[in-house]
Homo-oligomer: A and B are copies of this chain.
Amino acid sequence: MPNILVIHGPNLQLLGRREPETYGTMTLDAINQQLENLARELDAHLRIEQHNSEGGIVSLIAEAMDWADAILINPAAYTHTSVAIRDAVAASGLPAVEVHLSNIHKREEFRRHSFIAGVASGQICGFGVQSYLLGLRAACNLCSSSHS
């Protein structure tokens, strides 16, 4: 039964209240509920965290080296600016799945580059809450293939 660290980056606590034309009307709690439901179905254990601070996310990932089998991360704004989170993911040695609610490749130029992508196993974007759910499937799949 894989242990998966789920990280929601900055401002995601505002989901449902924030720019619904871009991010939809579902709250973070509702997304987490759907993730938990799917985790039960896939027989996975989740630890879900939301952080506005880059350093906090770095620490979270570093500590996950000791217990987690994979990381599911929506780095939000830090996607485009954080070398520190990139380095943390690489240092952790854990397979990481990067997800985004919106299709970042359709937005402002500065959102098209991800520092995280260079160290993640893969990236899923543009499907709203489904990005998370597909990402969880991908993460579980990565765990099972590395365990087999």
Measuring CB to CB, which residues of chain A are less than 8 angstroms from any residue of chain B? 9-11, 13-14, 17-19, 51-56, 58-59, 62, 65, 76-78, 80-84, 86-88, 90-91, 103, 105-106, 108, 110-115, 117-118, 120-127, 130-131, 134, 137-138, 141-142
Contacts of A127 in B (CB 8 A): 121-122, 138, 141-142
Contacts of A55 in B (CB 8 A): 10, 51-56
Q: Decide if A123 touches B121 in the complex (CB within 8 Å).
A: no
Q: Decide if A88 touches B11 in the complex (CB within 8 Å).
A: yes
Q: Decide if A118 touches B106 in the complex (CB within 8 Å).
A: yes
Q: A11-B88, A53-B56 are in contact. List 13 more A-B contacts (CB 8 A).
A: A10-B84, A13-B62, A17-B91, A18-B90, A52-B55, A52-B56, A80-B83, A105-B123, A120-B126, A122-B131, A123-B126, A124-B134, A127-B141
